[in-house]
Amino acid sequence: MLLTTLYIIGITAEAMTGAIAAGKRHMDWFGVMLVASATAIGGGTVRDVLLGHYPLGWVANPQYLVITCLAGLFTTLVAKWVMRYHKIFVILDAVGLIVFSIIGCRVAMDMGLPPLICIVSAVVTGIFGGLLRDLICRRQPMVLHKELYASVAFLAGGMYFGMMYFEVPELITTVATLVVGFVARMAAVQLSWSLPVFKLDDETNIVVAPKESATDTK
Amino acid sequence: MLLTTLYIIGITAEAMTGAIAAGKRHMDWFGVMLVASATAIGGGTVRDVLLGHYPLGWVANPQYLVITCLAGLFTTLVAKWVMRYHKIFVILDAVGLIVFSIIGCRVAMDMGLPPLICIVSAVVTGIFGGLLRDLICRRQPMVLHKELYASVAFLAGGMYFGMMYFEVPELITTVATLVVGFVARMAAVQLSWSLPVFKLDDETNIVVAPKESATDTK
Amino acid sequence: MLLTTLYIIGITAEAMTGAIAAGKRHMDWFGVMLVASATAIGGGTVRDVLLGHYPLGWVANPQYLVITCLAGLFTTLVAKWVMRYHKIFVILDAVGLIVFSIIGCRVAMDMGLPPLICIVSAVVTGIFGGLLRDLICRRQPMVLHKELYASVAFLAGGMYFGMMYFEVPELITTVATLVVGFVARMAAVQLSWSLPVFKLDDETNIVVAPKESATDTK
C-alpha cells in the first residue's frame, strides 16, 4: 500500500539523519542504532504511549525496528555521501513528516478521539522523533526554533481530518494531504518561512523577533 | 467546583512560566506552546502514563490543552508585565503545586493503589511539569536543587491521603490541605527553607552543604 | 528466590551510583532520591510503559521504591567510601545489568511477544536506568559511548530467550545466563572491549574510530 511504502522510506531517511547526529556526538554502534530508532519511530512511540494505544507499532511489527537499526549502521559506512547529498534527505524528511502526520491522525481517529486530539496526534507523531534525537544528543531542539515543521504537521493533520470528516474517499484524502503537505514543507524550507520567535533576555529585554533573525538562532 | 477552578488557574500560571523559559531559549511560537503545555500538564501526563491511567486528562478534556497553548502565546505579548510582577506567579505557582498534588493523590486513591504510591503520585503530578520544562529548555532542573518544592507536594499528598483515610469530609480535607500546603510553600520561599544539598567534587571532596550555600547553586 | 535477591542487590547498587551522580550535580536530598530511583528502576519503568505492562513493578511493590530512596540517602553518608571502593560497584553493577536483562526478557516472554522484542526488552531494562540518570544529570550518556554494556544485555537476553525456547529448565537457564553475562561484562571492563565509535565532525571528516580512541571520549 502507498502509505506503508512511504512510511518505510520515511523511517529509513529519519534513521539516517539520526545516525548522523549520533556520529557528531561520537557514539558507538549501539548509540547509533538507538538514536536512529528514536528519531524514526520515537514520534509514533510517544503518540501511542500518550494515547494508551497498545501494542506500539514496532512491538507489533519488529521489522520496522530492524530497518531503523540497519539504516543507522549503514549510515556509518556512507556518511560522507549522506552529508554531501543532504538535499535528498530534506526531501525524504518532508515525505516522512507528512506520512507520520497522516498515520498519527488516523490512529487517533480510529480510537474515536476528539478532532483537536487527532490533530495533536498528527503533530506529536511528526515531530517527537526529532525532539527525542536532539534531547539524547543534547542539542538545541530544532523543531522548537526553526522553520515551519510542527506547523506543517498541524496543517497535514487538520486537512486529513477535515477531508475524512466530509467523507472524501480515503485514497483521494491521503494523496491530497501528501501533495499539499509536501509542497507546504518544501516551500517553507526554500523560502525560509518560519514562525515568529519569542526572545527574552535575562535582563528583561523582550523582542518578538522577525523572520530574519529567527534563522540565525544558533 | 473549587478544585477545577483552582486547577485552571494553576495550569494557566504554570503555562505562563513555561512560556517565559521558552522565550529565554529563543523558541518560536510552536516551541512556546509546547513548553507551556509540558510545564502545565506534563506532571499529570507523566503520572497517568506511570499509573496506566487512560485516557490522559488532556486527551479526555482537550480544552485544557487549548488553555495552556493560549496562555503560552498570550505570554509572548505580556512578558514584560509577567516578569515585573514575578511575585504574583510565585503565589499562583504555589496554588498550582498544591492543587496538582491533591489531584495526583486522588487519582491514585481512586485506582485503589497503596498509600505510598498515592503520595508518590502527588509528588510526580506536582513536580514533573517543571522538570520536563527544564529538560526541554536544557536548564539545571530547579526542583532537584532548590527550595522545598517536592517536599511540599509530599506533605500535601500525605495530608490529603491521611485525612481521607480517617474519613474527614472531602471538602474539609481539600480546603485544609490547600491552606496548609500553601502556607508551607510560601514559608519555604520566604524563609529560603531548603533540603540539605549533597555536594560531591570529582576530586572526592564530599560536602553536605548547609542551607546558605544551597541557595547560591546556580 | 535467587532472582529476587539479586534484583534487590542490583537496584541497591544502581541507586547508589545514581546518588553519586546526583551529588556531583549538587542536588538536594529529593534530587538524590529521584536520580537514585530513576537509575535503579527507570529501566524497568520504561520497558513496562513501552510494552503496556501495567501495573509497573514499583507501583505493585512500593518497597522497591523505598529501597532505592533509602539507598540514595544512605549514599550521602558513605559517599567517600563508595568512591574509594568503586570496584565493588563495578561488580554489583554487572550483576544488576544481567539480572535486569533476564527480568526484562521474561516479562516480554510472559506477554507472548516476538523473539526480537523479548531481547529488546532485555536491553531496555538493562540500560535505560543509566540513560535516564545521565539525561537528568545532563551528562554524556555513558551507555551510548563506552564499553560493551548494551551488547552484554543483548547477549544475556538472547541467551536466556534461546535456552528457554529450547526448554532448558528455568533454573539452569537463569544461572547459566548470569554466569556467562557476568563474565562477558567483567571481561569487557577489564579488557576495555568496546564497540566501534562513529565519529563525525561538522567539517565532514568521517572517522570510524578504533577501540583505543573510543575510551578517551570525554
Residues B153, B121 contacting (CB under 8 angstroms): no
From CA A105, how far away is CA A164, in angstroms rounded? 10
The full 3-state SS of B83-128, as one line of letters, equals: HHCHHHHHHHHHHHHHHHHHHHHHHHHHCCCCHHHHHHHHHHHHHH
* Helix, strand and coil in chain C, % to nearest 5: 75, 5, 20
Nearest to B28 by CA among A142, A123, A198: A198
Nearest by CB to residue A144, choosing from B30, B45, B135, is B30
Which residue type occupies A136? I
Work out the number of other CB atoms within 10 angstroms of the CB of residue A121. 30
Who has greater pLDDT, C99 or B142? C99
**Residue A1 Cα distances to A7, A94, B44, angstroms:** 10, 19, 38
pLDDT digits (tens, 9 = 90+) for A56-102: 999 999 999 999 999 999 999 999 888 888 888 889 889 999 999 99
Give the pLDDT of residue C213: 37
Q: Interface partners of B (3+ CB pairs, < 8 Å)? A: A, C
**Chain B residues whose beta carbon lies within 8 Å of the beta carbon of residue A51:** 54-56, 59
- Look at residue B215 and tell me whether its pLDDT is greater than 60: no
Give the pLDDT of residue B202: 64
- Look at residue B213 and tell me whether its pLDDT is greater than 60: no
From CA A76, how far away is CA A69, in angstroms rounded? 11
**Chain A residues whose beta carbon lies within 8 Å of the beta carbon of residue B54:** 51-52
Nearest by CB to residue A62, choosing from C117, C143, C195, is C117
Residues B191, B147 contacting (CB under 8 angstroms): no
Give the pLDDT of residue B212: 38
Chain B residues touching chain C at CB-CB below 8 Å? 49-52, 113-114, 116-117, 120, 135, 138, 140-141, 143-146, 149-151, 194-202, 204, 206, 208-209, 214, 217
From CA B89, how far away is CA A146, in angstroms rounded? 29
Torsion sign across C-alpha atoms B99, B102, B104, B106 = negative
pLDDT digits (tens, 9 = 90+) for A130-148: 899 998 888 888 777 767 8
Mean pLDDT to the nearest integer, B47-56: 96
- Look at residue A217 and tell me whether its pLDDT is greater than 50: no
From CA C79, how far away is CA C90, in angstroms rounded? 15
**Chain C residues whose beta carbon lies within 8 Å of the beta carbon of residue A56:** 50-52
Burial class (CB within 10 angstroms; exposed 0-12, middle 13-18, buried 19+) of B123: buried
Nearest to B98 by CA among B14, B24, B17: B14
| Band (C203; pLDDT cuts 50, 70, 90) | low
Give the pLDDT of residue A112: 96
Give the pLDDT of residue B99: 95
Q: Do B26 and A217 touch (CB under 8 A)?
A: yes
Give the pLDDT of residue A75: 95
* Chain B interface disruption, residue of C30, C84, C135, most B CBs within 10 A: C30
**Residue B72 Cα distances to A192, B22, B81, B94, B143, angstroms:** 24, 9, 14, 19, 21
- Phi then psi for residue C147, to 5 deg, are 60, 165
Give the pLDDT of residue C192: 85
Q: Do A145 and B49 touch (CB under 8 A)?
A: no
**Residue A64 Cα distances to A37, A41, A73, A79, angstroms:** 9, 8, 14, 21
From CA C73, how far away is CA B23, in angstroms rounded? 36
From CA B132, how far away is CA B140, in angstroms rounded? 11
Nearest to C8 by CA among C71, C83, C87: C71
Q: Do C51 and A28 touch (CB under 8 A)?
A: no
**Chain C residues whose beta carbon lies within 8 Å of the beta carbon of residue B201:** 24
What is the average pLDDT value for chain C, to the nearest integer?
89
Least confident span in B1-10, B48-57, B96-105, C32-41: B1-10
Give the pLDDT of residue B36: 97
Contacts of A139 (CB under 8 A, 6+ apart): A21
* Chain A interface disruption, residue of C56, C135, C198, most A CBs within 10 A: C198
Chain-centre distance for alpha carbon B58: 16
Nearest to A38 by CA among A55, A23, A58: A58
- What is the value of ipTM here, to two decimals? 0.86
- Look at residue C208 and tell me whether its pLDDT is greater than 70: no
Residues A31, A1 contacting (CB under 8 angstroms): no
**Chain C residues whose beta carbon lies within 8 Å of the beta carbon of residue A20:** 200
Least confident span in A60-69, A177-186, A196-205, B147-156: A196-205
Q: Do C56 and B50 touch (CB under 8 A)?
A: yes
Contacts of B29 (CB under 8 A, 6+ apart): A195, A196, A198, B73, B76
Chain-centre distance for alpha carbon B187: 17
A198 beta partners: A208, B27
* Chain A interface disruption, residue of C192, C200, C212, most A CBs within 10 A: C200
Q: Interface partners of A (3+ CB pairs, < 8 Å)? A: B, C
Nearest by CB to residue B144, choosing from C34, C52, C135, is C34
Nearest by CB to residue A141, choosing from B59, B62, B136, is B136
Nearest to C180 by CA among C116, C94, C93: C94
Mean pLDDT to the nearest integer, C33-54: 96
CB pairs below 8 Å between B and C: how many? Answer: 90
B72: which 3 cell numbers?
A: 503560552
Nearest to C83 by CA among C146, C20, C39, C31: C20
What is the average pLDDT value for chain B, to the nearest integer?
89
Distance from CA of C48 to the nearest CA of A (A): 11
**Chain B residues whose beta carbon lies within 8 Å of the beta carbon of residue A143:** 30-31
Give the pLDDT of residue C216: 38
Nearest to A169 by CA among A180, A160, A179: A160
- Phi then psi for residue B198, to 5 deg, are -100, 105
Contacts of B62 (CB under 8 A, 6+ apart): A114, A116, A117, A120
> What does DSSP say about strands B206-209 and C27-28: parallel, antiparallel, or unpaired?
unpaired
Q: Do A31 and C144 touch (CB under 8 A)?
A: yes
Q: Interface partners of C (3+ CB pairs, < 8 Å)? A: A, B
Contacts of C41 (CB under 8 A, 6+ apart): C11, C57, C58, C64, C65, C68, C129
Q: In what helix (H) or strand (E) does residue A28 lie, and over which residues does it extend?
A: strand A27-28
* Chain B interface disruption, residue of A101, A135, A198, A215, most B CBs within 10 A: A198
C81: which 3 cell numbers?
A: 567510601
Beta strands in chain B (DSSP E): 27-28, 197-200, 206-209
Give the pLDDT of residue C143: 74
- Phi then psi for residue A209, to 5 deg, are -75, 145
Burial class (CB within 10 angstroms; exposed 0-12, middle 13-18, buried 19+) of C8: middle
Chain A residues touching chain C at CB-CB below 8 Å? 19-20, 22-32, 34-35, 45, 49, 52, 54-56, 59, 62, 65-66, 76, 79-80, 83-84, 135-136, 138
> What does DSSP say about strands B197-200 and C206-209: parallel, antiparallel, or unpaired?
unpaired
- Look at residue B216 and tell me whether its pLDDT is greater than 60: no
pLDDT digits (tens, 9 = 90+) for A21-54: 999 999 999 999 999 999 999 999 999 999 999 9
Distance from CA of B23 to the nearest CA of A (A): 5
Q: Do A31 and C114 touch (CB under 8 A)?
A: no
A199 beta partners: A207
Q: Do C79 and B200 touch (CB under 8 A)?
A: yes
Least confident span in A64-73, C78-87, C139-148: C139-148
Give the pLDDT of residue B203: 53
Give the pLDDT of residue B86: 84
Chain-centre distance for alpha carbon B81: 22
- Phi then psi for residue B199, to 5 deg, are -105, 135
Mean pLDDT to the nearest integer, B3-26: 92
**Chain B residues whose beta carbon lies within 8 Å of the beta carbon of residue A141:** 31, 136
What is the average pLDDT value for chain A, to the nearest integer?
89
From CA B126, how far away is CA B104, in angstroms rounded? 8
Who has greater pLDDT, A156 or B211? A156
Top mean-pLDDT range of A55-69, B17-31, C74-88:
A55-69
**Which residue is associated with the grid cell 518497597?**
C63
From CA A206, how far away is CA A185, in angstroms rounded? 29
